[in-house]
Amino acid sequence: MIMDLVSHFGEKGPVHVVDGGNCFDAYSVARKVRGRKEVLERIMLGRAFNCYQVLSLLEDTPADDTPFFVLDMLRTFYDESVPEVERKQILGECIGHLDRLAKPLVSFDAASWQDVTQHQKDHRSQESAARWRIGIQPANTASRASNKGIILKDGIWLPPAVGMVSMYPPAIFSPGILEMRLLLQASAVEVIRAEPALVASEQKRLL
C-alpha cells in the first residue's frame, strides 16, 4: 500500500522517504512508475539503521509542502542495546519533528499486534481525541476534480502534503514497546489499519 502511495505522489512531485526498517522496495516503485527516471529522482530516500539516525533524518527533513513517508518507524526502537528510557526520549523528539512536518497518517498491521486490545481500550479516549485534530477529509467532488492528493478505497482523501508513518510489530512484545506504539499512534490525525498479507491480492482496491 505505502509503495503505491510513494509512487503516486512521486509522479506528481518531490517525496521524502525515511526508511526505518530497510523495507523500501525500489523495484516495486520503479515498476509502478514504469521506470521513468524523472519520477524516481524525485523520491528522496534516507535509510536509518538505528533510532539515532531516524531522529537525524527527521531533523533534516524540511517543513514544506512535500509529502513524506516514514517506513517501519519503530523497527530501530526495538533495539534493546539502547536503554529503553533513551529510546522513549528519542521517540518523543521524533514525534515532535512529525508534528513540525505535518500531522502524520499512521498505517500499521493491526492483525499482527496481538494481545494489545485491552491495552488499547485503556487509551481509547486519548486515541479518539488525537485522531481528529485536523482535517484528513472524506473525498468530495471538489477534491476529485482538483486532481491533487489521493483518494483511498474508503473515501478518505489524503492532501498533497500528507505525512504517513507505518509501524509494524516486533517478534516479542514488551510493555515499553506497546507504550511507544501508543505514543506514535496518538500523534496521528487518522489511523488506517492494514493487513499486509492482503495488500498484494487487493492492491487495486486501495487506491
pLDDT band at 146 (very low <50, low <70, confident <90, very high): low
The dihedrals phi and psi of 150, each to the nearest 5 degrees, come to -155, 150
More confident residue, 31 or 196: 31
**pLDDT on residue 117:** 46
Rounded to whole angstroms, the Cα distance separating 171 from 67 reads 30
C-alpha to C-alpha distances, 75 to 28, 87, 120, 139, nearest whole angstrom: 21, 11, 20, 32
* pLDDT(199) > 80: no
> For residue 81, with 0-12 CB atoms within 10 Å meaning exposed, 13-18 middle and 19 or more buried, which class applies?
exposed
Q: Whole-structure pTM over 0.75, yes or no? A: yes
Region of 35 on the Ramachandran plot (φ > 0 left; ψ -120 to 50 alpha; else beta): left
**pLDDT on residue 131:** 33
Q: What number of helices (H) and strands (E) belong to the chain?
A: 11, 9
More confident residue, 156 or 119: 156
For the residues 184-192, what does the mean pLDDT come to?
Answer: 79
**pLDDT on residue 130:** 34
- For the chain, the domains span 2-206
Give the max Cα distance, the chain.
51
Most confident among 16-20, 127-131, 173-177 (mean pLDDT): 16-20
Beta-bridged to residue 43, according to DSSP, are 15
Q: How many residues does the chain have?
A: 207
For the residues 157-175, what does the mean pLDDT come to?
Answer: 81
**pLDDT on residue 109:** 58
DSSP category for residue 72: T
Q: What percent of the chain has pLDDT over 70?
A: 67
Residues ≥6 apart with Cβ < 8 Å to 105: 136, 158, 162, 163, 164, 165, 188, 189, 190, 191, 192
Least confident residue range of 27-36, 78-87, 96-105: 96-105
**pLDDT on residue 112:** 60
Beta-bridged to residue 190, according to DSSP, are 105
pLDDT band at 119 (very low <50, low <70, confident <90, very high): very low
Least confident residue range of 28-37, 130-139, 165-174: 130-139
